[in-house]
Structures are given as C-alpha cells and as structure tokens.
C-alpha cells in the first residue's frame, strides 16, 4: 500500500510572522484543490520572543501592553487554547494537512502530534514523557510541560500544531499563565537532560517520529513554494 506523501518545508530560524504567512499560503493551496494532496509539514525555530493567544483568548489589553514592554511580539491566532510563548530554542511544527488524505479525524490528529513529541522525548532518553487528558493537552514530564499543542481545523484541513522546548529561555513563561493552567510548570529538553539541546539536534528524530506516527512519507520542498 502506497503511503501518502507530505511535503517537508524546513525554515530554520525565522520570524514568527513568516511562518504564519507560509502557513496561510499552504492553507489556500489545499483549500483550492481539496483532496488532491496530503499537505505540508512546516518546521522552524522562532527568531525572536512571541506571545500568542488562541481562540479562547488568554491575554487582556493590559497584559498585552506589559508583554510588549518586555520586548516581545504579541499576536492573536486562530488556534485552539489560551496564551503561550514561542521563542529561540523552540521547535515549531505546523502541519498543514488534509486529514482525509491521511485517514485521520481532528482528535486523532491531536493525539498523533502528542505521540510524535513523546516519541522524540524517548529518542532523547526521557522515558517519562506522557500525554494527559484535557485540559492538559500537550506532552509532560512529571508536572511540567515540555511541548504545547494548539491546532485549528476547517474543512478537514489543519493548521498550527506544536511547540517543543529544546533550549528555550523558560523565564519568558514566568510572565504568563501558560495555556491557562495554574499550578503547573514548564520545562525543556535542555533542562531535563542537563545539557544544551539545539533545535537542529532534534529535527531528524522528530521527522522519524512523524513518519512513523502519521504513516506517511516526507518529500523535501523549497520553502519559497
């Protein structure tokens, strides 16, 4: 049986707005010709600090002004969930996928993203990584979240995805209540492994986990397409 092909677009370190712009182009491409291709996997590392809020909000105007005063960008997005942080040292994965081509529903797509992050943690030697039921969506090491997940889906086509902390400066999270979860913490692969883990280091094992979990092949595509 032939596996569906997903386009792999690696963007290295770029401004968050550029990731959103490319995501929008892929959304239009899939929406214009639904069912003709599986879609794309967009990977990048944010070039600067960005706080984002989701469909459920998460940031008041006063909080937004305070965060911008710290030197961070603040953006409202169409993903699910509340406020979170993106910045250097973090792997952002935005799968823009036609779920019908992959035989998935939205719930199984979210579970697959969690499974990819858990598998990556296992590849790095962190066997305790686990997904938790809502409202604790994402991947956790003990009581600390290492990977946040927030997606959007319209007409069976997904956008947004996951943010995995590799060597992220976790102090940025102190200025918000990440994902609206009071009393929980945030961690990174570097923090857990007690060594510096770069985004580049984890991309190869993450791609292996993605292919394994989504049962697809990955075809590299130039980021300008």
Could you give the residue numbers annotated as active site? 179
CA atoms within 13 Å, Cβ hemisphere of 212: 13
Is residue 148 a known part of a binding site? yes
Is residue 40 a known part of a binding site? no
Is residue 89 a known part of a binding site? no
Is residue 209 a known part of a binding site? no
Token representation of residue 170: 């976790």
Question: What is the CB neighbour count within 10 angstroms for residue 123?
Answer: 14
Is residue 163 a known part of a binding site? yes
Residue with tokens 């570097």: 190
Is residue 81 a known part of a binding site? yes
**CA-based nearest residue to 139, from 103, 167, 115:** 115
Is residue 79 a known part of a binding site? yes
Q: Do residues 216 and 5 touch, judged by C-beta distance below 8 A? A: yes
Is residue 83 a known part of a binding site? yes
C-alpha span between 33 and 31 (Å, rounded): 6
Is residue 184 a known part of a binding site? no
CA distances from 77 to 121, 160, 191 (A): 27, 9, 28
Which residues are annotated as part of the binding site? 79-86, 148-150, 161-163
Which residues are annotated as part of the binding site for substrate? 79-86, 148-150, 161-163
């Amino acid at each position: 049986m032939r596996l569906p092909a997903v386009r792999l677009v690696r963007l290295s370190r770029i401004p968050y707005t550029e990731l959103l712009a490319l995501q929008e182009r892929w959304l239009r491409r899939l929406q214009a010709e639904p069912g003709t291709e599986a879609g794309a996997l967009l990977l990048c590392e944010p070039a600067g600090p960005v706080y984002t809020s989701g469909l459920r909000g998460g940031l008041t105007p006063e909080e937004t002004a305070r965060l911008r005063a710290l030197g961070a960008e603040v953006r409202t997005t169409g993903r699910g969930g509340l406020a979170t942080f993106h910045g250097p040292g973090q792997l952002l994965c935005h799968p823009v996928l036609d779920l019908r081509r992959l035989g998935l529903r939205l719930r199984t797509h979210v579970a697959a993203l969690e499974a990819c992050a858990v598998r990556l943690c296992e590849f790095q030697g962190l066997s305790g990584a686990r997904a938790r039921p809502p409202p604790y969506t994402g991947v956790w090491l003990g009581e600390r979240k290492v990977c946040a997940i927030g997606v959007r889906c319209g007409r069976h086509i997904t956008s947004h995805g996951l943010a995995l902390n590799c060597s992220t400066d976790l102090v940025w999270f102190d200025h918000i209540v990440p994902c609206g979860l009071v009393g929980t913490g945030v961690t990174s692969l570097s923090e857990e492994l007690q060594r510096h883990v770069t985004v580049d280091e984890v991309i190869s094992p993450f791609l292996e986990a993605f292919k394994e979990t989504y049962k697809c092949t990955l075809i590299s595509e130039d980021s300008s397409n």
